[in-house]
Amino acid sequence: MRLYDYILSPSCYKVRLMAALTGQSLDIRPVDFHPGGEHRKAELLALNPAGSIPILEDGDLLLTESSAMLVYLARKAAPEWLGDGTAEQSARLQQWLSFSHRLTANLGGARLHEMLLRPGDIALLQAQGVAALRELEAGLVEQDLRGMPFLASDRPTVADIACFPYVALAPDGGVSLDPYPAIRRWSRAIRALDNFIEMPGIHRLHELKPEPQIGTGEE
Amino acid sequence: MSADTTGFWTPVALSADLPSGTVIPARTRAGSIALWRSDSGRVAASADRCPHRGMRLSYGFVRGESLSCIYHGWSYTQTGNCLRIPAHPGLTPPDTIRVATHLVEEADGVIWVAVGEPVHPPPKLEGLVALRSLTMHADVTTIEAASGAKSDETGLIKATQQSETMWLLLSEQEQGHTLVHVLLDGENTLGDRISASRGVESLRRCAEDLQARRSRDG
Amino acid sequence: MAKEAMLDEWYPVGLFSQVKTTAYKTALMGEPIEVSVGADGNAIVTTSGGRVLSSRVRYGHVWSSIGDPQKEIFSIPEADQPGRRFVDVGVVRVRCSPLRAVENFLDIAHFPFVHTDILGAEPHTEVQNYKVEIRDVEDEVWATQVKFYQPQAAKSASGGITTEYMYRVPAPTCSVLYKTCPPRPSEWDVITLFVQPLAEDLCDVWPWMALFDDETSMTDLIHFQQTIFLQDRSILENQIPRLLPLDPGMEIPTRADLTSVAYRRWLKRHNYTYGAQLVAQ
């Protein structure tokens, strides 16, 4: 599986993270999104005329939507990430997958504007981002009341991976995460998963490693 | 709220929102706080700023009974002393390196931080169970108007939304925002709790609309 | 008053490879400016009001000033060595003081915590003594004999090594880092941070590199450096106060911070205070 990837893209990170969590390897083909604009040049437009990344290639399967990539990775090697198959869980999963696309536009748009100088109506993007975070917070509060730490189930699914990156990086776009206790708990639960990998802007949870002992002779 | 002149208590967070081994940002009228719970479960409130290079301690991490700054790993005890500077492992940090701390009380599922030195303990919330906290872009007066009730002597507003009764404990934040802790009477079902959560979202919409109109109309 | 001493300095305002005939609008210390390329291929920088500003093209970037620079842009002799690859890393905007951005670049004690498993890792957190001076002739801050153990020091490194560094501050918002070059151990890789002050609490950061590395793709080199800088960005946006304190009292340095102490002293000596605060609170 080849992933056309930009290290700073939260959407590309969704795929890298999903692969790491499910023990699958990717052949990474780095794309010079910034400053090169390579995603809009001939070679990549030939693969994806929409000019977006990530792009995932596996044989003659070509995917250009990150949600589809998450589902593909889950179906291939880790179907437990797709929920229990009941109507209710499937619906919750799909609800949050669809929701996640709005985050690319609002939180992602704010981040691109504030950090990489892309055009946009920053006040509007931030306001829309706040509205989206409030929706997510309300959903996570209800899941928590049901005894479930994740969006669609009592275990993580592709829905959580689809929503996590843009939420975790909201502060990059000037949208604070301070007012959302349920999002904070959920974000921590994801970051503490086995085989979790970070991306730039998401720090390692150093508390997961015990205090290193000084004076044991090393160094 | 009790009319203490030496200090007062601010409800900053719910116990359930501060698991062991974690740190979260919080606010009192005195400023930003790094509110944290050690691995053994003890709560502390440190000023949200590492004296090394000014990094917010609420971005840090908790190991054992100490809070470390994410920037250079300087770690602090619950009383504010600096325990360790990783760049100088053999050095015992001098007493002059410290962060200010604030009094903390935890009771009935709510965490309170003191501004100054209150004489009395925080108000009791007998029989109430904490549900969730949320931030409203509205001031206290506007929230009272939206819920049709004023705070009682404990500082609680009794609000009814879609036939759900809930109790709101308010804490003023900056920029005209208010942190609202939602509590319910002891006996309730999952359905009640979900309704209450949705009810307070409706109340927030109402309060924020009212605030926007008030701001616009001067 | 805060601005004056820094008005006459050169600042990066764009990537030369990306400048077009239509103006790119940006700012220098609160003054709106525009950057474009003329018919002759030369860079043109003007204020929004039309006043033509001095400009240069150096190290892949367009440089300008809203004042009257008394010196040319500092030199980096290594940039003229044959065989070096030049990497335009691309601009990143940060809501912080331009001086805080430079100071973070000079710091190594944060490597194990912020650049975990790349530039540093626990328990290898100790910062050994190193040498710092303000060189009078060049009027620059220099730190030498800096050493740190790194799990993955560069794209060209195959494993963990003890990296040697030198740091240099030749201008108030620019820093040059020289680090161990794994493919050519007798040479230094050069990594720079050129910071454009937009306001006292907002800057555009333009990293640039001159490396000996024939193996790694340009995109991978760009991504590696962007990774490092993006890991620093959320730190930079959360330091209090926003402005860099130049008086003692608010912040406490240790021996690991000698470069930053010298930098702050040098800034104060020159009255380079745009992005700084002077009275300890």
Residue B186 pLDDT class (50, 70, 90 cuts): confident
A33 to chain C: closest CA residue: C219
Question: What is the average per-residue pLDDT within C225-239?
Answer: 97
Say how far apart CA A112 and CA A53 lie, in whole Å.
Answer: 14
Say how far apart CA B165 and CA C254 lie, in whole Å.
Answer: 56
Say how far apart CA B91 and CA C52 lie, in whole Å.
Answer: 55
Subunits with 3+ C-beta pairs closer than 8 A to A: B, C
Under a CB-based contact definition with an 8 Å cutoff, are residues C107 and C260 in contact?
Answer: yes
Q: What domains can you pick out in chain C, each with its CATH number?
A: 80-277 (3.90.380.10)
| Predicted pLDDT of residue B6 | 85
Q: Is the pLDDT of residue C111 over 70?
A: yes
Question: What is the average per-residue pLDDT within A178-198?
Answer: 97
C89 to chain A: closest CA residue: A35
User: Three-state DSSP class for A198?
Assistant: coil
| Predicted pLDDT of residue A215 | 44
Q: Between vectors from CA A145 to CA A142 and to CA A146, what angle results, nearest 5°?
A: 90
Chain B contact present for C182, CB below 8 A: no
Contact A142 B201 (CB under 8 A): no
Instruction: Using alpha carbons, select from C208, C131, C122, C118 the residue that is nearest to residue C163.
Output: C118
Residue C131 pLDDT class (50, 70, 90 cuts): very high
- Rounded to a whole number, what is the distance in Å from the CA of B4 to chain C's nearest CA? 28
Tell me how many helices (H) and strands (E) chain B has: 2, 15
Q: What amino acid is encoded at C110 in this protein?
A: H
| Predicted pLDDT of residue B1 | 47
Contact B89 C254 (CB under 8 A): no
What's the CA dihedral at B208, B210, B212, B213 to 10 degrees? Answer: 170
**pTM assigned to the model:** 0.95
Under a CB-based contact definition with an 8 Å cutoff, are residues C205 and C195 in contact?
Answer: yes
- Rounded to a whole number, what is the distance in Å from the CA of B122 to chain A's nearest CA? 22
DSSP bridge pairs for B81:
B98
Mutate to test the interface with B, among C110, C130, C147 (most CBs of B within 10 A): C110
Q: What amino acid is encoded at A191 in this protein?
A: R
| Predicted pLDDT of residue B163 | 76
Summary mean pLDDT of chain C: 94
User: Three-state DSSP class for C225?
Assistant: helix
Under a CB-based contact definition with an 8 Å cutoff, are residues B116 and B6 in contact?
Answer: yes
Q: Is the pLDDT of residue C97 over 50?
A: yes
Element (H, E) at A135: helix A122-145
Question: What is the average per-residue pLDDT within C152-156?
Answer: 66
Subunits with 3+ C-beta pairs closer than 8 A to B: A, C
